[in-house]
Amino acid sequence: MRFFILLLAFSMPFLASAQKKKPDFNTQIDSILKTKPKNYKGINSYLRPFRRDTSKLKILAKRFEEKKYLDGKAYVENLLGIQYRNYSMYQKAIATHKFALETAKRAKSIEFEVFALNMLGVDYRKTDANRTALDYNQEALALADSVEKPGLGLLRSTAVSLNSMGNIYLLLKQYDLAIERFKKSQEIERSINNELGLAINYQNIGYAKDAQGKTKEALSYFQKSITINNKINNTYGKIICNSSIANIYVKQNKPEEAIKLLNANYNDVIKVGNREFLSYHFLNLGWAQSKLKHFTEAEKNLKKGLEIAKKYEFASSLSYAYSHLSELYQNKKDFKKAYEYYKLSDEFDNKVSNERNIQYVNDLIIKYDSERQNNQIKSLAKQNKIAQLQLTENRNIWIIIVVSFLLLIAILYFLYRQRLLEKQKRILTLEQDVLRTQMNPHFIFNALNSIKHYIINNEQKNAVHYLNKFSKLVRKILESSTLKEVSLEEELETMDLYMNIENIRFSNEIKYSINVDESLDLKNIKVPPLVLQPFLENALWHGLSSKKGDKKIELSVFKPSSSFIQIDIEDNGIGRKASAKIKSNKVINRKSIGIELTKERLNNFIKDFQNPFSLIFDDLFDDDKKPKGTKVALRIPIT
């Protein structure tokens, strides 16, 4: 069975509870505005009874904005988005959760920011925008991990992020990896005593087991989930579990039991009003009836499910419907219709995703995970070597103090200083290697995700084009990581590949050009490898990422004198002042070390030259004194 409801379960923490008499709405508003709790648990204690009432949630959002109670507003907007998603209003859910994200940022609430990011991941997954969903869930997980002592809300959000990553692996058919993520999520849910979270993960593990053909194990996990959902009276959870169990019954050749369970489930499906649930209800019922050779009823229900899927564009439901209609007409000996629906199912699956390309990128992701682990091991080994060098250095200090007596003290001190400088240079080199090793996996992961976007959208030519460029870039980075200098020609080629890959994330909006003085022999001009990358990265993410309209980066190389080569990097971005202002408004500011590290590398590089290097940042303005970009001028000695 297709994974048609994997992520809707994330909304269930806000849907399952025992029925209680609701307190007065206005009284609760007055009470919460007096205390203004900051976290999810505190706010939920006041507003839980109104969590499914969209009209009251809208009133609360307006009141909280008027009273500048932003934490409460972020909570309300997240719940409102969940309600829209439960009624298959996905675009409205996305817009509302983006409002919640902005409100959380204004409130400087990491907890509600993570909450909103996770909900956006769920929304986009429901519309099959898997790459975008992955980006949001990854951002949520990274933000939650940045908090040293997370509270209950952040722990719950971390569990949600892990569950979302499990669903990514389900999409890629890496079922063991999916189960691993679900179990990690389950550990967190168990530690915070969240029974609903346990039920969700039992359900998802059941999906993975079912996909592996382990129907008995899948059924046992579904039954564990339904037991918890019955205990906490969670209607949505019961619908999902019963549908999954009925699906297993059909596979076990027990269609009568499946029909009985689906019929008992029908009133709840109608009650919650989720159209995707209703589509799958009819499709599963028709499938079970087909197994009993009740072809008339089966055809009627399968076509009901198909019409709902078509009307609301439920991708997984459409493929599921075409497949079972093909099976139905084959059993009826109507091979013409069976073939027609088989073709529709096959064509639709090919349209949704190119299986071969997805598997290829999946293999790259697995390879990346392996390389990341190897890099971590190498990093630890180098750090250990640094520690050993530092211990050796300290031991030599004591040896020198003992041996350096009377007339030999000057000679021994001179020898010690020479050895000390050599070791410090070796330590600096190792530290640079460690930094490079730690940076490579992050860039590779983002590049793979960008390329995967083309593959998921079936843009095969673009996927192959950028995969070729990506492989060339990785090879050049790996080759240059062992060198202390490369030719300027090789450096410019590497930067061109880097800009091509980064430009994917800007939808190829950036116009990048290189102007080189024709009199220069780039092969004989040496520079440190990857020395230009931090400046291009700054131009991209600080200058152009927040700019609307035309985006340009121009790299120029010329020889201002016989002793120097000059490289100018000019962008038409928002300028350094505006970029600094945007950075100061962020909840978490990470200090960039790229430029400082580049300066240190240049200092080491020019030790054998007569002249120093120079680095100048110039803010550009138009005739009206408005910022029109930034220019970086790097002058490197060649003699």
Q: Please state the three-class secondary structure of 503-540 as a single string.
A: HHCCCCCEEEEEEECCCCCHHHCEECCCCCHHHHHHHH
Reported residue count of the chain is 639
Residue in 333, 311, 307 with CA at minimum distance from that of residue 321: 307
Task: Compute CA 425 distance to the chain's CA centroid, rounded to the nearest angstrom.
Answer: 38
Task: Compute CA 402 distance to the chain's CA centroid, rounded to the nearest angstrom.
Answer: 57
Residue 604 burial (10 A CB sphere; 0-12, 13-18, 19+): middle
pLDDT at 346: 78
Separation CA 129–CA 470 (nearest Å): 23
DSSP 553: E
Residue in 170, 163, 160 with CA at minimum distance from that of residue 117: 160
Residue type for position 25:
F
Task: List, for the chain, all residue ranges whose pLDDT scores fall below the cut of 50.
Answer: 1-20, 355-357, 359-361, 363-364, 367-368, 427, 430-431, 434-435, 437-439, 588, 590-591
pLDDT at 342: 85
Backbone angles phi, psi at 571, to 5 degrees: -120, 160
pLDDT at 65: 94
Helix (H, G, I), strand (E, B) or coil at 77: helix
Phi-psi region of 575 (alpha: psi -120 to 50; beta: other; left: phi over 0): left
Tell me the two tokens of residue 45.
Answer: 């204690």
pLDDT at 436: 58
Backbone angles phi, psi at 507, to 5 degrees: 55, 35
Separation CA 528–CA 486 (nearest Å): 6
pLDDT at 18: 37
Q: Which residues contact 447 (CB under 8 A, 6 or more apart)?
A: 470, 473, 501, 504
Q: Sheet of 627-637: strands edge to edge?
A: 510-516, 551-561, 564-571, 627-637, 614-621
Separation CA 529–CA 509 (nearest Å): 27
In angstroms, what CA-CA distances link 608 with 602, 603, 604, 637, 638? 11, 10, 9, 10, 10
- Find the Cα–Cα–Cα–Cα dihedral 421, 426, 431, 435, rounded to 10°: 130
Topology of domain 504-639, per CATH?
Heat Shock Protein 90 (3.30.565)
- HEC per residue, 561-629: ECCEEEEEEEECCCCHHHHHHHHHCCCCCCCCCHHHHHHHHHHHHHHHCCCCCEEEEEEEECCCCCEEE
∠ at Cα 577 (575, 583), nearest 5°? 100
Thinking of the domain 274-352, which architecture would CATH place it in?
Alpha Horseshoe (1.25)
Residue in 598, 597, 548 with CA at minimum distance from that of residue 569: 598
Q: Give me the residue label for tokens 């009901």.
A: 304
- Find the Cα–Cα–Cα–Cα dihedral 579, 585, 588, 590, rounded to 10°: 20
pLDDT at 621: 92
- The reply to whether the predicted model has a pTM over 0.75 is no
Residue type for position 618:
D
Q: Are 318 and 309 in contact (CB under 8 A)?
A: yes
Q: Are 321 and 301 in contact (CB under 8 A)?
A: no
Separation CA 490–CA 522 (nearest Å): 8
Question: What is the CATH class of 8-273?
Answer: mainly alpha
Separation CA 324–CA 326 (nearest Å): 5
